[in-house]
Amino acid sequence: MKATRVLIRGLVQGVGFRYFAERSARHLGLVGWVRNLADGRVEAVAAGSGDDVAAFVAQLRQGPAAGRVEAVEVSETTLEDTVSRFEIRH
């Protein structure tokens, strides 16, 4: 299982980005979470097969129709054992 942390910058808050990410991750069978950051970015951590995580990152680069992604930072990470599905965190 591969875990990836993604930081997304642009018009990504107030446009349904977290719900877009949640739907995308669940469709791909990933576990993890997504949340808004105080600086206006969105952070997501997702774990699953390498191909599914790569597809998720590609979808985040596009974002929802109402948003505008300006930059994406991707790094490997670990996911806490208590996560059993993909969720929106507040």
Distance CA 26, CA 9 (A): 22
Q: Name the catalytic one among 9, 18, 23, 35.
A: 18
Give the C-alpha separation, 11 to 17, whole Å: 9
- Which of the following is catalytic: 36, 41, 61, 89? 36
The yes-or-no answer on residue 18 being catalytic is: yes
5 is catalytic: no
Q: Give the residue numbers marked as catalytic.
A: 18, 36
